A and B are shown apart, each in its own frame.
Chain A
């Protein structure tokens, strides 16, 4: 018989839940992770949907995973290996392409071909963004203070924030202020003139949001993607050996090695509350587990509206959680391919296949894709970010064959008339016919596919609304406003209950920061 008494229970075995469990175990606590599915990883999983072809089903690249977490949990020892994703290739409508390679000289020459002005501006731009990302990075590991609170903890936090701001130069401060409030399009147009460069750069500003590149706040999302680093190299993106499931696997191994317990196939029905405190959970199968504290690595809506009786929360809090924007806007098309896609703009097998392939020929292209989504349609000509994991890690597909992971925007959760099989098929067809424009051989190389809409993300990964960030990274949903004003320090109105995932500060992406910071805060409360 298993002993069902724990110091801490973590609901959800996504990467944040696993990080939280590892840090709890590291602090000597007896902890169990409860995962609903039969595999851990949440939205960071690799699955063999088609025999022999391993799909990085949802999340597909790594960059934002906090270096201190990699270090402290010794993730490389537990199997984490990140392979660089060296280039971005963006085919254009006129048959040409833009290639951003890992060799700066090559990139510079390539940019010169499109616009000497842009080539000149590119280095300065990269430096400016790097500086901004570096300047804003300390905020990631800061607990956002509530500016309206007079609690000593918040006042100290505000003081720290003030010290942080005072430490920035005027230039950095204003750059951050502008980046936080601008649209990606406006920001980029201050630097560049080439359509395909603008489109490709702006694309990372709209990832995971139901916003267009001309919407304010998208420059921040763009910056968020610049905060990644691999081995200390800023802005570097990589692919984890074995897909993002490899990341989750390494964290899970680390957690197990530190003494955490992981139970898969354990779906939580409710958090048990005793004397106004979270005291354990009840599973769907009727089992009950007791604990001193409970961490939820589920999204805020599930965490507060589903797992806990609303009577334990103030009405306003519930209302704010209901208002939290969690509508997904991204889809995936995972393809099993008999051979590599052959791009008209740069025929044959080449370095482009080992990098990101971005269908983002212009700002207007992405903006128009957004226009359709805001009225409840999927984009007829979507933004596609494709990577070919098997070209980087041959283990991902049978020899000579390939898998492709296509991230797509926009695919709104609230599709007019709702998502059904016919719509999913039409959506896949849209993506394939878009890819066909640039790589005509793609259709005949497809031997299998998996279409993922936000509704599927919700169903499979358990994220309400299917938003990849557990809630859009909007200005009104970041920092001390995430997920709800006044509750950005991972605590919740229910004592002993903590939010430990992307819906909390600092937000989405495979970062692990929320998992780590929530444990750090919980340990201060003296309940454990």
Chain B
């Protein structure tokens, strides 16, 4: 029987990035994926003849693309001129068009506030500095505190230096704004409600927090980094990114098995010994990387018996709380006025967004939801917030029609022809996200992006360095530091840790 240096659970983007890095470093790696297609949440799938990026799309970190030479495997970043606009749909058919070109964006902002238009370039500069800092934070391994080794201390010092190099004023400002609410942060910059709300929507995207919740500025910077700005800048379809990653991993020598669901991680004397598949097959390895979320990894795959009660308690306390539903609409053609490859947001006012969140706090679906809509030639993908995983009343399966109608009606206000152009639809409730994509509680980020689950507290304090209480078991998914979103940073960082140890 073939032996592997490492087994990686899950062929999502992080699992694949880890696999490719380790294989490239000469390790024998096996990737096990429960679904019949690789990609995890980074997938393009068919529904009734239409193709959609089912869950998420996004960018990988530029250095991953470079290091893994993904361009050779078919991944070609778009030229900057093709980066689409971020359009806020406003009442009375008004729109705010935030193009990636700051001059053009300022033109549109000017209609709402000349003062804000003048501040826009400075805001972009600040956001660039803030995302740079976050990027270096995500590039730094978070050691266990307070016992920091010399090399770990060195990289932390480097991170501090990066922050200081942004300039004294910026350094203090970045530290200051991270815990702020999106509302406070944006009110320091702008006066136009429309602009503030449009930008603030990115601060609540993917999290169960409101624009008035502390820490949504952090999520704004996090999403800004992962998207490359306000609008989603795709490298290509989600599936193309995954294909390139798979091709690269395999070219470097990694093996991949699909439809191979891991049901438990074998542990002998607190040492990882391999995995057990659903059909009973056992595969041995001294090193196991799990790209599953931390709750699933520890509470299901490892099991509480192998862990200390405190560790189990901390793991149970990780906040997952998905409240996103995805609705894909297959169309005859895009309704009049809607452009392909564009990001639309329905975020007309700060209070509108906050009220949408209020519902989620009490386990209800937002009656007036925040939507982010991405388009292709004949498919509209709607990101719907808030659709809380834990409903106060009823089960998700009984809410499908309600949710679909809410989403379509909300969007149809701006595109009256929408209704008549829908041919097919595909809805993913938070419950579907959990069952189909193994996202505990439907949380796209494997754990909420919030201040107490950030840096050395992600996924839980003391375990942000990809290691776990089980020797030889590592976390490489979005739930650990650098994770959340499609950046591949945690997969990359985990591979670095593992290759030093095996």
List A residues at the B interface (Cβ < 8 Å).
146-149, 165-166, 168, 170, 173-174, 177-178, 181-182, 186, 190, 211, 214-217, 316, 323, 325, 364, 367, 371, 374-375, 474-476, 481, 485-486
Q: Which of A168, A177, A325 contacts B456, CB < 8 Å?
A: A177
Residues of B within 8 Å of A173, CB to CB, are 145-146
Contact between B172 and A216 (Cβ–Cβ < 8 Å)?
A: no
Residues B134-150 near A (CB distance < 8 A): 144-147
CA distance A307 to B300 in the complex (A): 62
Contact partners of A168 in chain B: CB under 8 A: 146
A364 near B362 with CB under 8 A, answer yes
- Assembled-state Cα–Cα distance A123/B44 (Å): 52
**Is B213's CB under 8 angstroms from A215's CB?**
yes
- A437 to B: closest C-beta gap in Å: 21
Residues of chain B within 8 A of A214, CB atoms compared: 213, 361
On chain A, the residues within 8 Å of B450 by CB distance are: 181, 216
B341 contacts partner chain A, Cβ-Cβ < 8 Å:
no
Which chain B positions have C-beta within 8 A of A190? 313, 317
CA distance A215 to B215 in the complex (A): 9
Q: In the complex, what distance in Å separates the CA atom of A182 from the CA atom of B457? A: 11
User: Once the chains are docked, how many angstroms separate the CA of A371 from the CA of B354?
Assistant: 9
Give the docked Cα–Cα distance between A170 and B145 (Å): 6
> B358 interface residue, CB < 8 Å from A?
yes
Given A168-B146, A216-B215, A216-B450, A148:B358 Cβ within 8 A = no
Bound Cα distance A374, B175 (Å): 25
Whole-angstrom distance between the Cβ of A325 and the nearest chain B Cβ: 7
**Which among B179, B351, B456, B457 has the highest number of chain A CB atoms within 10 Å?**
B179
How far is B450's CA from A173's CA once the two chains are assembled, in angstroms? 18
In the complex with contacts A186-B319, A367-B361, A474-B172 CB distance below 8 A: no
B179 touching A474 by the CB < 8 A rule? yes
Q: A181-B451, A216-B450, A325-B184 are contacts. A485–B213 as well, Cβ < 8 Å?
A: no
B145 in contact with A475 (CB, 8 Å): no
Residue in A165, A166, A174 with the greatest tally of chain B CB atoms within 10 Å: A174
Query: Quick check: B461 and A177 within 8 Å, CB to CB?
Result: yes
B176 interfacial by beta-carbon distance below 8 Å: yes
How many B residues are at the interface, by size bracket?
35 or more
Residues B214 and A216 in contact, CB atoms below 8 Å apart: yes
For the complex formed, measure the closest distance between the CB of B253 and the CB atoms of chain A, giving whole angstroms. Answer: 39
B35 → chain A, closest Cβ, in Å?
32
Q: What is the CB-to-nearest-CB distance from A159 to chain B, in angstroms, rounded to a whole number?
A: 14
Please give the distance in Å from A117's CB to the nearest CB on chain B: 12
A215 to B452, CA, bound (A): 12
- Which chain B residue lies CB-closest to A319? B188
B212 within 8 A of A: yes
**Distance from B48 Cβ to chain A, minimum over Cβ atoms (Å):** 40
- In the complex, are the beta carbons of B175 and A178 less than 8 A apart? no
Pairs across A and B, CB under 8 Å, 7 listed = A148-B172, A177-B456, A214-B361, A216-B179, A475-B180, A476-B179, A481-B172
Which one of B66-74, B163-171, B369-377 is at the A interface?
Answer: B163-171
Contacting pair B176 A476 (CB below 8 A): yes
With both beta carbons as reference points, the residue of chain B lying nearest to A219 in the complex is identified as B452
B200 CB to closest chain A CB (Å) equals: 14
B184 engages A147 (CB within 8 Å):
no
**A74: min CB distance to chain B, Å:** 39
CA distance A165 to B313 in the complex (A): 25
Question: With the chains together, A427 CA to B358 CA distance in Å?
Answer: 23
Is A475 within 8 A of B457, CB to CB?
A: no
Instruction: Please indicate the chain B residues that have their CB under 8 angstroms from the CB of A178 in the complex.
Output: 452, 457, 461
Q: For B313, what are the chain A residues with a Cβ–Cβ distance below 8 Å?
A: 190
Q: Tell which of A165, A177, A181, A182 has the most Cβ of chain B within 10 Å.
A: A181
Min CB distance B44 to A, Å, is: 35
Which residues does chain B contribute within 8 Å of A174, judged by CB atoms?
A: 145, 457, 461-462
Which B residues lie within 8 Å of A367 (CB)? 361
CB distance from B473 to the nearest CB of A (A): 20
Are the C-beta atoms of A316 and B169 separated by less than 8 Å? Answer: yes
Does any Cβ of A come within 8 Å of B435's Cβ?
A: no
CB distance from B481 to the nearest CB of A (A): 13
Residues B168 and A216 in contact, CB atoms below 8 Å apart:
no
Whether the Cβ atoms of B168 and A181 lie closer than 8 Å is no
**Bound Cα distance from A341 to B426, whole angstroms:** 59
A148, B176: Cβ atoms closer than 8 Å:
no
Convert B173-193 into 0s and 1s, putting 1 for each residue whose CB lies closer than 8 angstroms to a CB of A: 101111110001000100000
| Chain B contacts to A: CB under 8 angstroms | 144-147, 164, 168-169, 171-173, 175-180, 184, 188, 209, 212-215, 313, 317, 319, 351, 354, 358, 361-362, 450-452, 454, 456-457, 461-462
Interface-centre pick from B172, B354, B454 (highest chain A CB count, 10 A): B172
Q: A178-B457, A475-B214, A476-B180 are in contact. List 9 more A-B contacts (CB 8 A).
A: A148-B168, A170-B144, A174-B457, A181-B450, A216-B450, A325-B184, A371-B358, A474-B179, A475-B180
Of chain B, the residue at the smallest CB distance from A149 is B168
Q: B387 → chain A, closest Cβ, in Å?
A: 18
Q: Are A148 and B171 in contact (CB under 8 A)?
A: yes
Residue numbers in B under 8 Å from A476 (CB-CB): 176-180, 184
Q: Which one, B188, B212, B213, B462, contacts A323 given CB within 8 A? A: B188
> How far does the Cβ of A300 sit from chain B's closest Cβ, in whole Å?
15
Q: How far is the CA of A217 from the CA of B214 in the complex (A)?
A: 7
Known: A174-B462, A181-B454, A181-B457. A486 touches B172 (CB 8 A): yes
Q: How far is the CB of A469 from chain B (nearest CB, A)?
A: 16
A residues near B179, Cβ cutoff 8 Å: 181, 216-217, 474-476
Can you name the residue of chain A whose Cβ is closest to the Cβ of B145?
A173
Residue of B nearest to A478 (CB): B179
Report whether B451 and A475 are in contact in the complex, using a CB–CB cutoff of 8 Å.
Answer: yes
A350 to B296, CA, bound (A): 51
A493 CB to nearest chain B CB (Å): 14
Compute how far the CA of A154 lies from the CA of B216 in the bound complex, rounded to whole angstroms.
30
Contact A181 B452 (CB under 8 A): yes
- Contact assessment for B176 and A147 in the assembled complex, using a CB-CB cutoff below 8 Å: no
Q: Looking across the interface, which residue of chain A has its beta carbon closest to that of B209?
A: A216
Residue of A whose beta carbon sits closest to that of B170: A148
- The answer on a CB contact under 8 Å between A374 and B212 is yes
Write out the residue numbers on chain B whose beta carbons fall within 8 Å of the beta carbon of A475.
179-180, 214, 451
The reply to whether A485 and B212 contact each other, CB–CB distance below 8 Å, is no
With A and B bound together, what is the CA distance between A161 and B219 in angstroms? 28
Cross-chain contact of A485 among B146, B172, B358, B361 (Cβ < 8 A): B172
Q: How far is the CA of A210 from the CA of B188 in the complex (A)?
A: 17
- Nearest A residue to B179 via CB reads A475
Nearest neighbor of B310 in chain A, beta-carbon distance:
A171
The CA of A371 and the CA of B146, in the complex, are separated in Å by: 39
**Cβ–Cβ contact A147 & B175, under 8 A:** yes
Residues from chain B with Cβ under 8 Å of A182 in the complex:
451-452
CB distance from B311 to the nearest CB of A (A): 12
Please measure, in the bound complex, the distance between the C-alpha atom of A413 and the C-alpha atom of B351, giving whole angstroms. 18
- Determine whether the beta carbon of A485 is less than 8 Å from that of B452: no
Specify which of A149, A325, A374 lies most central, judged by the most chain B CB atoms within 10 Å of its CB. Answer: A374
Minimum Cβ distance to chain B for residue A63 (Å): 25
Residue of B nearest to A375 (CB): B351
Bound Cα distance from A166 to B164, whole angstroms? 22
Q: How far is the CB of A260 from chain B (nearest CB, A)?
A: 36
B164 proximity list for chain A (CB < 8 A): 148
Structural contact, A215 and B461, CB atoms closer than 8 A: no
Please tell me which one of the listed residues A148, A177, A181, A216 contacts residue B213 in the complex, with CB atoms under 8 A apart.
A216
From known contacts A149-B168, A181-B457, A217-B179, infer whether A170 and B358 are also in contact, taking CB-CB under 8 Å.
no
What residues on B are CB-neighbors of A177 within 8 Å?
452, 456-457, 461
Q: What A residues does B176 contact at CB under 8 A?
A: 476, 481, 485
Closest residue of A by beta carbon distance from B181 = A215
Residues of chain B within 8 A (CB-CB) of A165 are 145-146
- Are the CB atoms of A374 and B354 closer together than 8 Å? yes
Please tell me if the beta carbons of A216 and B361 are within 8 angstroms of each other in the complex.
no
Cross-chain contact of A216 among B146, B317, B452, B456 (Cβ < 8 A):
B452
CB within 8 Å for A147 and B171 given contacts A178-B461, A217-B214, A476-B180: yes
**CA–CA, A177 and B209, complex, Å:** 20
Residue of B nearest to A146 (CB): B172
Q: Which residues of B contact A486 (CB under 8 A)?
A: 168, 172
